[in-house]
Amino acid sequence: MKNTIALNATELAKLEKDGLNVVKDIGKFSKEGFAALTAADFDRLKYVGLYIQRPKTDEKFMLRVKIPAGQLNTNQARVLAHIAEAYGHGVFDVTNRHSIQFHWIGIEDVPAIFKALDLVQLTTLQAAGDCPRSIVANPLDGYDPDEFLDTRGIFKQLNDFFHNNRDFSNLPRKYKIAVSGGLYNSVNAELNDVAFVPAVKTVDGNEAKGFNVLVGGGLSREPHLAKKLDIFVLPDEVLKVAAGVGSLFRDYGYREKRNHARLKFLIEDWGLGKFQAKLLKLTGPLQSAGTPVSKGWNAGRFFGFNNQKQAGLSYLGIAVVSGRLAASELREIARLADDYGDGSLRTTNSQDLIILNIPNSAAEQLEKEPFFIKQKSLWNSLNAYTGVCTGNEFCPFGLVETKTCVKKIADKLEEAVGTDIPLRVHISGCGHSCGQPQIADIGLQGAVYSRDGKPYSGFEVWVGGKLGDGARFGKKLLGTVGTDEISEVLADLVKSYRQEALSRETFAEYIHRATLKKITA
């Protein structure tokens, strides 16, 4: 391991005991209770998806459950609903990396929860911690009519390799991997440490389907879009490249300061040329980059009935407002998936859900279900296009409330300008950017500012962000807007777009063309 000078407290704790070893301590912790846990224990518990919940005096945790590539069946869904009802006040959140998050979890209940998850082959291992996190993929892998490559086998190979792999259990920070053969970038490839995006290249005289490779993406206080390496990777080469990138991160990544420990900073300092040369020493020679085949970016959203690649079958994309769902709603979705499909569900990277394999002949009857009727009204609502983190309701870092706030904003925008303007509104409760505000049409990040000598909560504002072709972060507007003013300020901004936009000009295009007035608190 390199860079062992002036290690931070988290690094010292990892040297003392591997984070994956915390699995052996769960029984002891559940008996001794919250008060017996040390700071190092709290760090290690992240390796099984447990984070201290706000307020700490409640002695509760947030628990993150991995849903590999979003693949979920109805038996698993009912177990998740049971956990929410028994331990999580009847609700849970869907994350933007396929996972499920519960709140109000007591350490004394964790063994029973883990046993229930294990019975349906679900796990929380490496859902957090300084290790490879949940690998994101196209939730429609194998079903997508616009699919360039079916990556289910590649995903399984990656997931099996990195899961519980102690060669990668002590990284400088989290390691995020994405792989997709879809044409519409549902994985938000540019935000990952390494992403494999579909491409084509002539290899040995034949056209080969494979991937170009992006590295060094990430948000937080210093957002970076991932940069393209000059390599083309065949399907059977994906694993060695992902392992090689992870190895470079492990061996050369920064460990002195936690806020400077992501792969993006190493790549920024080294440059792509040096990073690629080091990578090729580990992987052996690879082809130069191929021709990308992506057609755009769909932000991971798949609402309504859509044809699958399988003749006569459709999938139903379900909007989950603010990513939060009641256990009773999940049970109803599971019933619909069993009654009208084959019990296959998916979580998406837009914090939503999908029911797969619905015969087209059953669609008319499904459309009469009360749940479907309620859903149909959502798909034309801005509330369906929001992205939201946990916020200060539970997160120790959160500076503002997010879940109800984003609904108020979406409702105000609809009232002011209607629903015919497709706007993605994202809120992150703090500077960690878990709500991904920089890639939204309108992105808000929680902040504290002074007014009349008193502290108030408010938002920093990004506008005009997008991924895919021409990917760029939103413009960060000057100043901070108070939580009591934000809806009106944004409504005025969107009204200006409606009045001044050129024909067929999107909100993001307008933002980057127009001269905006400063927004001040």
What CATH number has the domain bearing residue 249?
Answer: 3.30.413.10
374 is catalytic: no
Q: Residue 259 class from Cβ within 10 Å (0-12 exposed, 13-18 middle, 19+ buried)? A: middle
CATH of the domain at 351: 3.30.70.3340
pLDDT at 1 over 60: no
pLDDT of residue 3: 46
pLDDT of residue 521: 36
Average pLDDT over residues 412-440: 91
pLDDT of residue 140: 97
The number of folded domains in the chain is 4
Does residue 190 share a domain with residue 288? yes
Per residue in 79-113, pLDDT (tens digit) is 999 999 999 999 999 999 999 999 999 999 999 99
| Last-in-domain residue among 350, 381, 412 | 381
| Last-in-domain residue among 381, 408, 431 | 381
The secondary structure element, H or E, covering residue 100 is strand 100-105
Q: Pick from 168, 231, 158: which is nearest to 201 by CA?
A: 231
Does residue 151 share a domain with residue 52? no
Per residue in 229-238, pLDDT (tens digit) is 999 999 999 9
Instruction: Give the structural domain span for 331.
Output: 314-381
- Pick the catalytic residue: 60, 64, 66, 466? 64
- Pick the catalytic residue: 129, 218, 429, 458? 429
pLDDT at 517 over 70: no
- For residue 261, CA distances in Å to 49, 222, 257, 387 come to 20, 12, 6, 26
pLDDT at 384 over 80: yes
pTM to 2 decimal places: 0.94
Chain centroid offset of residue 167 CA = 24
435 is catalytic: yes
262 is catalytic: no
pLDDT of residue 454: 86
Q: Would 81 be classed as within a structural domain?
A: yes
Average pLDDT over residues 48-75: 96
Average pLDDT over residues 269-278: 98
Per residue in 133-143, pLDDT (tens digit) is 999 999 999 99
Does residue 181 share a domain with residue 268? yes
Does residue 195 share a domain with residue 64? no
Q: Would 301 be classed as within a structural domain?
A: no
504 is catalytic: no
Does residue 368 share a domain with residue 393? no
pLDDT category at 504 given cuts 50, 70, 90 is: confident
The crossing angle, in degrees rounded to 10, of helices 327-340 and 370-378 is 110
| Last-in-domain residue among 381, 409, 438 | 381
429 is catalytic: yes
CA distance 324 to 301: 16
pLDDT at 378 over 60: yes
Average pLDDT over residues 321-328: 96
CATH of the domain at 80: 3.90.480.20
- Pick the catalytic residue: 181, 434, 443, 464? 434
472 is catalytic: no
